[in-house]
Structure 1
Amino acid sequence: MSKKKYHYKIKDWTLNPITSELTNGGEKVHLQNQVAKVLLELIKANGQTISKKELLEKAWPGTIVTENSLDKTVSELRKVFRDSRANPQFIETLPRKGYRLIAPLKKVEIEKRTIPIIKRRSNLKWGILILALAVTALIYIFKKNAEAHKILSPNGKIIASIKKDGVNYALFTEDITNGKIRLLDSFSKPESIVANWSSDNSNIIYNTTLAKNDFYSLNVFNLHTNRISYIKFPKKEGMMISNLKPQDSLSKLLEHKKLSQRNSSVHYIAYENNDTIKVLFNDKKISDFKW
């Protein structure tokens, strides 16, 4: 028997746990990996308080992270839900205890749609043709969506996205308040499509590493200056980080930890204004950024 699949209704929002997408009418937001994991753990708690320690262990298994990372993740969730810590409607903070989901929650089973049997041969031919066209269209749409990566800024005002643009891939931003779309950068298809925001909404870091190269490449786009900083470091361990242009970049390799679980590792990169960027790897490919 096939396993049943569910969506979760959280007040006016619907979460698809498979795609990590939240929808509310025509609005759709793709949650980042850790944000989705934290939300799912809050859902599983079913209105009960879940401690920060337990959330960290379940959302970041085998990874050393601070409570500050969890607090920022919960803050991102609140911005998506347009929630308030002072007057919460979705996520409640219990000082020195943890968090709990207080919004109305409902588990909804996804209905399976069956294809009706077509009795006449002539209708069968047309039915098969229409079905083939529909499947082709769905595959195209799926591939198109699978190649796109969207992230919401910490202040909830801008969506950054990486998607295919002709023969290349491109970084776009869309201002939610006025619908304005900007093309920020264009590059060859990276070996993994990953991006994230800085906590102050001023920078977007994204992966431009090519599978054929023997080094990792990261770009940081500053929305205030419209400048791109280029960070490059070798894929083999034991070598120091080296920066490409601009030459005044302060980035350097601080530390690298190889975690035995799930073949994951993390690079800590010191950036401007004492910021630290964590580059997370899985199977030797960049899987996420934490600013």
Structure 2
Amino acid sequence: MSKKKYHYKIKDWTFDPITSELTNGSEKIHLQNQVAKVLIELIKANGQTISKKELLEKAWPNTIVTENSLDKTVSELRKVFGDSRANAQFIETLPRKGYRLIAPLKKVEIENQAIPVIKKGSWLKWGIPLLVLSIVAIIYIFNKNTEAKKILSPNGQIIASIKKDGANYALFTENITNGKVDTLDSFSKPESTVISWSSDNTSIIYNTTLAKTDFYSINVFNLLTKKVSYIKFPKEEGMTFSSLKPQGSPSKSLDHKKLSQRNSTVHYITYENNDTIKVLFNDKKISDFKW
């Protein structure tokens, strides 16, 4: 039996609710968690007005959040679309009522074809194609771990991305207002491409761990000082947890705690100014950051 999933066409954009990614041609933007949740609720409303109270309850369940946080999140979403409140083409604000999605919306069904059953004596007919499909799938999964990633800053002004740059990978930023693109850091191909923003918009955290090393490596680029801090800790149990090493300063230990559950592990690392970075792992690879 074939499995079905859906994407949504929002004017010229395509939104994948599973990965929280918006694409427009070659442009791909990964939405932060709350921004994606607000967009999903607007899509569910299907052009109808949804109140601020309802959006807050659904996008921030069991959490006390002010309307100001919702307004900022909607503003970030508008910036991604290149939209504005004064001349709304995507999201309309209805004073004292709420918001509604006014851009053309279409639900697109995507089918994954079921694999055919191989009958006895037909291995030549089906065996070779299936072998080819298996090889392609392995290559796809391998490359997916290091595909280009983009993520919007919490204030909606800068897009940070990691993508291939010649023989290496690089960290880029793009200013949405003026279109300026900067290359901030260059490094070897990481075993998983993971990137996130600090909540105050000043720092970008990204994975630079190599597949054939004993240590996890995480870089933190400070946009104010233009310096990189390096966080390293061992992949194997029993090795000493390491360190923070900003450029030009000695390394020092960082307080941390580790929680494990089945294939998932979380490290809580106390960073500068008592900020806590949550590093999520899946199958022993870094899969996400939460600042």
Distance in 1, Cα, partners of 2:70 & 2:165: 30
What letter corresponds to residue 274 of structure 2 in structure 1?
N
Which of 71, 78, 81 is equivalent to 2:78? 81
1:281 is aligned to 2:278: no
Query: What is the aligned length?
Result: 249
Per-residue deviation, 1:237:
3.5
Do structure 1's residue 8 and structure 2's residue 29 form an aligned pair? no
SS of alignment partner, residue 255 of structure 2: strand
Q: Using the TM superposition, give the Cα deviation of residue 251 of structure 1 relative to its aligned residue in structure 2, in angstroms.
A: 6.1
Worse overlay, 197-206 or 44-53? 44-53
Query: Is residue 103 of structure 1 aligned with residue 101 of structure 2?
Result: yes
5+ residue gaps, structure 1, are: 58-64, 93-99, 113-138
Cα RMSD (Å) of the superposition? Answer: 4.5
Instruction: Sort the Cα spacing of 1:270 and 1:74 in 2 relative to 1 into closer, same or farther, 3 A.
Output: farther
Give the share of equivalent positions with the same residue, in percent.
58
Task: Report the Cα offset of residue 152 of structure 1.
Answer: 1.0
Structure 1 CA distance for aligned equivalents of residues 42 and 166 of structure 2: 40
Distance 1:286 1:32 in 2: 19
Q: Deviations over 1:13-69 (max 9, x none)?
A: 541336533257x79452257457635763686477879787679xxxxxxx9878x
Q: Quote the offset at 1:239 in angstroms.
A: 4.6
1:38 is paired with a residue whose SS is: helix
Does the CA-based 8 Å contact 1:191-1:285 persist in structure 2?
Answer: yes
Task: Provide the rounded CA distance (Å) in 2 between the counterparts of 1:186 and 1:284.
Answer: 24
Does the aligned pair in 2 maintain the 1:35–1:74 contact within 8 Å?
A: no
Amino acid at match of 1:252: L
Structure 1 match to 2:192: 192
Quick one: distance in 2 between partners of 1:16 and 1:279?
24
TM-score calculated relative to the size of structure 1: 0.65
Preserved CA contact (<8 Å) 2:203 2:220: yes
Q: Name the residue aligned to 1:42.
A: 41
**TM (normalized to structure 2)?**
0.65
- Cα 1:255–1:111 change in 2 (3 A) is closer
Answer yes or no: is the 8 Å Cα contact 1:78–1:90 preserved in 2.
Answer: no
Q: What is the correspondence of 1:212-231 to structure 2 with a 5 Å cutoff?
A: 212-231=212-231
In structure 2, the partner of 1:61 is none
Gaps of 5+ in 2: 112-138
Q: Write the distance in 2 (CA, Å) between the matches of 1:18 and 1:289.
A: 18
Q: Any conservation in 2 of the 1:232–1:242 contact (CA below 8 Å)?
A: yes
Check whether the contact 2:244–2:253 (CA below 8 A) recurs between aligned residues: no
Letter in 2 for 1:42: E
User: What is the CA distance between 1:222 and its match in structure 2?
Assistant: 0.9
